[in-house]
């Protein structure tokens, strides 16, 4: 069933109107994704993960003297552990009751794929604007990376890691 912005649109098609444009279909798909309650919970968990990532990155750089790359590897691992637990317990709670080890392994794999996109955007931002490697400007690069990985991570979490088990 297709999402429609208004009933008038269906009426236009019934009376000889033109089919929706690809841009219109893309906007409809985006609206469905953004309004999906699971996606909204995932976004809240993602914001929590971003906050954990930022705090741990700050601690690694300023507290332990690690550089922006090594500190980010540590902060990413901590953020993945936090978001797996929150997504399992809240975002995908119905599917989150399965085998924890299997879910964690798949979730880690998904997050690593999203993490590659995340780290690529993070490092590309720093490469393009070297001033972004210092606190607090590094938060801009961190946000660019987080945004790059979010869609990939949501699709993988929903359809792979927390996919409802089919009863046999």
Query: What separation in angstroms does the CA of 142 have from each of 39, 47, 92, 155?
Result: 21, 12, 25, 21
> What single-letter DSSP state applies at residue 133?
G
pTM for the structure as a whole = 0.67
Q: What pLDDT score was predicted for residue 168?
A: 59
Q: Average the pLDDT over 40-64 and give the result.
A: 93
pLDDT at 1 > cutoff 60: no
pLDDT at 137 > cutoff 70: yes
Residues 88 and 123 in one domain: yes
Residue 64: inside a domain: yes
Q: What pLDDT score was predicted for residue 109?
A: 93
- Structural domain boundaries enclosing 30: 1-35
Residues 156 and 82 in one domain: yes
Residues 81 and 129 in one domain: yes
Residue 94: pLDDT band (50, 70, 90) is confident
Query: What separation in angstroms does the CA of 131 have from each of 26, 51, 57, 63, 87?
Result: 36, 21, 16, 20, 34
Residues 70 and 92 in one domain: yes
Residues 87 and 142 in one domain: yes
Residues 112 and 123 in one domain: yes
Q: What pLDDT score was predicted for residue 102?
A: 86
Say what percent of the chain tops pLDDT 70. Answer: 80
- Total count of domains within the chain: 2
Residues 53 and 75 in one domain: yes
Q: Tell me the two tokens of residue 155.
A: 């699709």
Whether the CA torsion 154, 155, 160, 166 is positive or negative: it is positive
Residues 17 and 88 in one domain: no
Say what percent of the chain tops pLDDT 90. Answer: 38
Q: Average the pLDDT over 34-63 and give the result.
A: 91
């Amino acid at each position: 069933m297709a999402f429609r912005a208004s009933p008038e649109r269906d009426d236009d098609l019934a009376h000889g109107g033109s089919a929706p444009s690809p841009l219109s279909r893309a906007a409809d798909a985006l609206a469905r994704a953004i309004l999906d309650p699971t996606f909204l919970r995932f976004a809240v968990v993602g914001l929590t993960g971003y906050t954990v990532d930022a705090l741990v990155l700050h601690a690694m750089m300023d507290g332990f003297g690690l550089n922006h790359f090594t500190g980010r590897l540590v902060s990413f691992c901590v953020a993945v552990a936090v978001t797996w637990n929150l997504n399992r317990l809240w975002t995908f709670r119905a599917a989150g009751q399965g085998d924890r080890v299997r879910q964690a392994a798949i979730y880690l794999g998904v997050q690593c794929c999203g993490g590659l996109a995340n780290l690529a955007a993070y490092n590309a931002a720093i490469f393009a604007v070297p001033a972004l490697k210092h606190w607090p400007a590094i938060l801009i690069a961190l946000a660019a990376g987080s945004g790059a990985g979010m869609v990939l991570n949501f699709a993988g979490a929903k359809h792979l890691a927390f996919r409802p088990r089919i009863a046999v």
